[in-house]
Structure 1
Amino acid sequence: MKSILKPKKSIFIVYLIIPVLIYFFVIILPIISASYYSLFKWSGGPKMKFIGLSNYDKLIHDVIFWKSFLNNLTITIICIVGQIGIALILALFINSKAIKLKKAHLAVSYFPVILSAVVVGYIWSMLYDYNNGLLNSLLKLVGADNLVRPWLSDSNLALILVSFPLIWKNIGYFLIIILSGLSSFDKSILEMSEIDGATSIKKFWFITLPMLRKTLVVCLTLCISGNMKVFDHIYVMTGGGPGTSTMVMALHAYQNSFVRYKMGYGSSLSIGILVLSIFITMLARKITLEKSES
């Protein structure tokens, strides 16, 4: 009987090898390939000239790359507040006893998540459109014609405006994660605090928030890693413009690789994005965990 229930060693090895191979070909191999090509001057053709670390030296002195990095950081900070902050507030409301039709609220909140980033980009481009956009139409309707403008052509506002679609799209994603964290709570702790006369604010600050610490760290990690490689909707909405006001690292790498055909330098940019993303993510996790533990 034991021999029947116990899985064979060969089957276990097969089940282990399959995910390892998928991970290798999807994650590890592209990183190795990009690292290799980054050492060459290559336009995508058969001729490749070895130049060592020259592409990385060029990257360090690339003003547009570091401008793109700062834009990514700005978008990430806006999205941390917008995505996780709004998701936390919605999760608390949906989790409360006063809210009915919770599944309907979840479905509506999660709907933007399933939309492709390209579709989201087109939707928000139409909202911001100068002639027929909803935003300018509403401003005209209330008599605020002086505020009407070509929104995405304003270099001072464009970066903030392209961050809003990211917030709208991913709130539902973080809402599900936070709700799963709230569902794991011991309800008796909150009930005991109510008996002791704790207000809603005190319950949130001293009970709910500390118990959500690990969940929020997960949300923070996902938010940073996602927004450091944002590309699709910005490519659709502004193409990095006006000027370089909405240029992000992934778009800069794309333009060098597939527009200017600088495949070698584009590969070094991809490695730079990977290194910076990992560094920022780990730094944020370390700071967050240290503060929460203290």
Structure 2
Amino acid sequence: MSSRVFKLKAGPMFRYLVPIFLIYIFTIILPLMLSIYFSLLNESGTKFAGLDNYLALVKDRDFWYSFKNNLIIVLFCVLGQVGIAFILASLFMSKILKFSRLHRSSIFLPVVLAPVVAGYLWSLIYNYRLGLLNRFLNLMDIPSILWLDEPKYVIYAVSIPLIWKYIGLYLIIFLAGMQNISKDVLEAADIDGASWLQKTVYVIFPLLKNVIRVALILCISGTMKVFDHIYVMTGGGPGTSSMVMAQYAFNNAFTMGKLSYGSTISIGMMILSAVTIFAISKLINAGGNK
């Protein structure tokens, strides 16, 4: 009887899952298979080239430079997005910050903005002549800076919009995790005279380790594929100073018409992203098991 009931319930359930599987196949699996196929062709796309494109990719300095830029942005975003969000969530839970609903709404607002919109907005903020940032520096008698045209500043300048945009996402994740912490534990810390900092470091942080792991993996995986706002703000320039892997793949595939090599870069980007996430996950797990 139970098996029959299971079959009756499973039938409609799988029917509802079919559209999801079809969408996944056409948006993820099929493009991936096509990328692998094109990466094995020569530059004109007429002959099978084997692993020639991959061998060229390994020797491509611009690709490794763009990977380095991705890692720099990942580091800044981990510290900025996850770090600042955790501190803010702790301040909200301790009720040190007043008007928490207003603050949470204003911090979360950038999350709903499209990356292209965020890119245009920060391009205006960084504008050399009319940007708010340089206007503020001028008030303190500091000369204007070419934020998006100076190679030594640009990679850091394009990282800040990413931090600003996604702090709200991780703030909500951490607040949800902190609200599941037993009030008895927090009240016991208050009775023992623990300060906000002591309670955050010695009580909240250890109890949120699993949530922090998830947030770190989400942050790293999202940042490794960053493209939109950098394309809008700098296009990877000046030169290759702010070039990231997704931008490099786009330039080769659609600007220079090297579809096969652009596909190879995409596959290389996927492999390096997976290796980076796997390595970080192992480090986090090793640290959590100590």
Q: TM-score, normalised by structure 1?
A: 0.93
Q: How far does the alpha carbon of each residue in 1:198-226 deviate from its partner, in whole angstroms, 9 at most, with x for none?
A: 33322222210011101111110011111
Tell me the distance in 1 between the aligned counterparts of 2:17 and 2:286.
35
Change (3 A) 1:168 1:199: same
> Which runs of structure 1 show a deviation greater than 6 angstroms over 4 or more consecutive aligned residues?
2-6
The yes-or-no answer on 1:241 pairing with 2:237 is yes
Q: 1:212 aligns with which of 199, 208, 213?
A: 208
Q: 1:131 aligns with which of 125, 129, 132?
A: 129
Q: 2:152 aligns with which of 151, 156, 162?
A: 156
Change (3 A) 1:173 1:54: same
Q: Which residue of 2 aligns with 1:14?
A: 15
Helix, strand or coil at the partner of 1:40: coil
Tell me the distance in 1 between the aligned counterparts of 2:80 and 2:239.
26
Q: Which residue of 2 aligns with 1:75?
A: 73
Tell me the distance in 1 between the aligned counterparts of 2:272 and 2:233.
25
Q: Which residue of 2 aligns with 1:271?
A: 267
- Percent of pairs with identical residues: 45
Query: Aligned pair count?
Result: 289
Q: How far does the alpha carbon of each residue in 1:9-66 deviate from its partner, in whole angstroms, 9 at most, with x for none?
A: 42132133332222222222211111111000255xxx52210111101100010000
What is the correspondence of 1:4-153 to structure 2 with a 5 Å cutoff? Answer: 7-43=8-44, 48-144=46-142, 147-153=143-149
Tell me the distance in 2 between the aligned counterparts of 1:136 and 1:200.
36
Change (3 A) 1:269 1:130: same
Q: Which residue of 2 aligns with 1:255?
A: 251
Report the alpha carbon displacement of residue 102 of structure 1 after superposing the two structures with TM.
2.7
Tell me the distance in 2 between the aligned counterparts of 1:99 and 1:151.
32
Code of the aligned partner of 2:246: A
Tell me the distance in 2 between the aligned counterparts of 1:78 and 1:194.
33
Give structure 1 stretches of 5+ with no counterpart: none
Code of the aligned partner of 1:219: A
Tell me the distance in 2 between the aligned counterparts of 1:171 and 1:198.
27
Tell me the distance in 2 between the aligned counterparts of 1:152 and 1:250.
19
Tell me the distance in 2 between the aligned counterparts of 1:240 and 1:151.
13
Contact 2:236 2:243 in 1 (8 A): yes
Give structure 2 stretches of 5+ with no counterpart: none
Tell me the distance in 2 between the aligned counterparts of 1:5 and 1:228.
42
Larger mean CA deviation between 187-196 and 215-224 belongs to 187-196
Larger mean CA deviation between 250-259 and 124-133 belongs to 124-133
Tell me the distance in 1 between the aligned counterparts of 2:11 and 2:288.
45
Q: TM-score, normalised by structure 2?
A: 0.94
Tell me the distance in 2 between the aligned counterparts of 1:273 and 1:135.
33
